[in-house]
Amino acid sequence: MSNELSPELYRVIDANLNRLKEGIRVVEDIMRYKHNNKELSHKLKHLRHKANTKDSIELLKYRDSINDVLRESIESEMNRTDLSSIIIANFKRAQESARVLEELYKLNSAENSENFKHIRYELYSLEKDILS
């Protein structure tokens, strides 16, 4: 890993990698098990597997989920009205995380930055396909 980023920024990267993959996985499982949609499930699975970096394991040493100052859920996170609201929330979660990763990796890895930009745009397209 490059020394250009502080431990705190590696913590941000770790949290956003997790958030990105978790958001994709929620939508993937709904498409797979609820809708039996092999094509969309496969696209989401492929995208989730692209949401990785060579330093993913090394990032674990920066994780501090116990001391996360926003660990508690807020009320809006606890309220979902239907399956569409779950899908929308998880697409937004994944897209926002991809954007954070795209921006932070501009500091030390253009390749990773481009990968997360690609993932973000794929998520926009899949969101439209699934929700329209």
Domain ranges of the chain: 7-55+85-131
Q: Do 124 and 40 meet the contact criterion of CB atoms below 8 Å apart?
A: no
**What is the pTM (predicted TM-score) of this model?**
0.86
Tens of pLDDT, residues 31-71? 999 999 999 999 999 999 999 888 777 887 777 777 666 66
* Backbone φ/ψ region at 80: left (φ over 0), alpha (ψ -120 to 50), beta: beta
pLDDT at residue 2 in the model: 47
Phi-psi region of 36 (alpha: psi -120 to 50; beta: other; left: phi over 0): left
Tell me if 24 sits within 8 A of 42, measured CB to CB.
no
Single-letter amino acid, residue 66: I
| Cα–Cα distance, 44 to 94 (Å, whole number) | 11
